[in-house]
Amino acid sequence: MKKIARNLFKLFWVFVIGCLLGYIMEVIFNFVRTGEFETRQGLIYGPFAPVYGLGMLAFYLILPQFKKLWQVFLVSSILGGVTEYLCSYFQERWFRTISWDYSDQLLNFNGRTSILYCIIWGALGVVFIKLVYPYFEKIFDKVLYKIGTKVVTVFAVVFMIFNISISSLAAQREYERREHIEAQSSMDVFLDEHFPDEMLDEIYRNRRDK
């Protein structure tokens, strides 16, 4: 039981760190490309990009099995591309919105990912396994199991569960408003009052209706 808790502890922080690093990367990339600062967060509260958190989780769980760099690159390309595709698919299916569209790129897959971005994911996988993964393990073993860190982790888990839940509910309710569906419950009323379309559009500036 203790080993399971330790593993879940690791996986949670891998996800959170991936969300943070992904957000920073997206903001920097967009600034270099356009010269403008634009938030690229995927949740209502905080600088988190969940698609990168899920991608880093996949990297952490699978990549250490591969020793050769070409294998790491190939597997990372596939993992990243599949993660990006599925996140785009479920966002469109559940919330009728999209946050990225690569339809104008050569060799794209339904606009959800492309060969170019698969290559980028492959490069990120190589960087992760060579430069990041070893330090992750050292930090986890020396720092993240201390009592103070455990307390912080409990609060962080509660916060992320709330953040993901309220973000999903607000996005679903926003879709219902676009479909002119009246509030059916006190939760709907709460979401309408506290997370109106204008607020969500400001948070998710790169998101578009589908």
Tens place of pLDDT for every residue, the chain, 210 residues? 667 777 888 899 999 999 999 999 988 988 888 887 878 899 999 999 999 999 999 999 999 999 899 999 999 999 999 999 999 999 998 888 888 899 999 899 999 999 999 999 999 999 999 988 888 877 777 776 676 677 888 899 999 999 999 999 999 999 999 999 999 999 999 999 999 999 999 898 877 776
Q: Is the pTM of this model over 0.75?
A: yes
Burial class for 105, CB neighbours closer than 10 Å (0-12, 13-18, 19+): middle
Asked if 63 and 128 count as a contact pair (C-beta separation under 8 A), the reply is yes
Is the CB of residue 139 less than 8 Å from the CB of residue 82? no
Q: What are phi and psi of 108, to 5 degrees?
A: -95, 165
Comparing CA positions, the residue from 77, 54, 188 lying closest to residue 123 is 77
Report yes or no: 40 and 26 within 8 Å, Cβ to Cβ. Answer: yes
- Terminal CA-CA length for the chain: 44
